[in-house]
Amino acid sequence: SRSLLAESMASQVAAEPENAVAQRDLTAALQSASLTYSWLGKRDDQRRVVEEALGINHALRAADPENLQTVRDLLSMLQASMSVLTPRELDTARARVTEMEALAKRLAEEGADANLARESVVMAHDTVATLLTQAGDFTAALAENQTVVDGLARLVSDAPDSERLSVRHAIGLVDR
């Protein structure tokens, strides 16, 4: 079951299927609902709304590939979607990281939100490392963690005044 807000947004999208703003609003409402389901421990409902929002974001991107907002939205939803994956879905996780890397590259080429996009990709790699650890593939998890540490180091060097990134990098070094 969706939230009332998501239901209202879905009705608006149904009434105006070409309305990209209404579709983006719906994905935001679905993402909010996914957080609520996560807090409630309702993983199946969380997964369902995340995958629905991801599908909408993919469709918006396909309909308007030059629109940087659709790139940002899809990147954000891909990152959010990583939280519903299990160790059995490592191939899906890796495919999503690859897609996120391409989206981040596109944003960097346009000079738009490059560091934020790169940080999203690094955190997706962190999720893959966690899934690998849960699957018992510690060698691959260590290699993936190195990717995280290296990515955070690059982010910190590009934004040396970012205390948040510096702390993430330090934690990554400790976790290694």
Query: Each residue of 37-96: pLDDT tens digit?
Result: 999 999 999 999 999 999 999 999 999 988 898 999 999 999 989 989 999 999 999 999
Instruction: Please give the pLDDT value at position 142.
Output: 95
- Higher-scoring residue by pLDDT: 92, 6: 92
pLDDT tens readout for residues 109-126: 887 777 888 888 999 999
Predicted confidence (pLDDT) at residue 133 exceeds the cutoff of 90: yes
Helices (H) and strands (E) in the chain, counts: 8, 0
Instruction: Please give the pLDDT value at position 126.
Output: 93
Instruction: Please give the pLDDT value at position 56.
Output: 93
Instruction: Please give the pLDDT value at position 25.
Output: 85
- Write the single-letter amino acid at 133: T
Which of 59-68, 74-83, 133-142, 164-173 has the weakest average pLDDT?
164-173
Predicted confidence (pLDDT) at residue 172 exceeds the cutoff of 60: no
pLDDT mean over 145-155: 90
The whole-angstrom separation of Cα 87 and Cα 147 is 19
Predicted confidence (pLDDT) at residue 7 exceeds the cutoff of 70: no
Residue by residue, DSSP assigns 65-119 as: TT-HHHHHHHHHHHHHHGGG--GGGHHHHHHHHHHHHHHHHHHHHHTSSHHHHHH
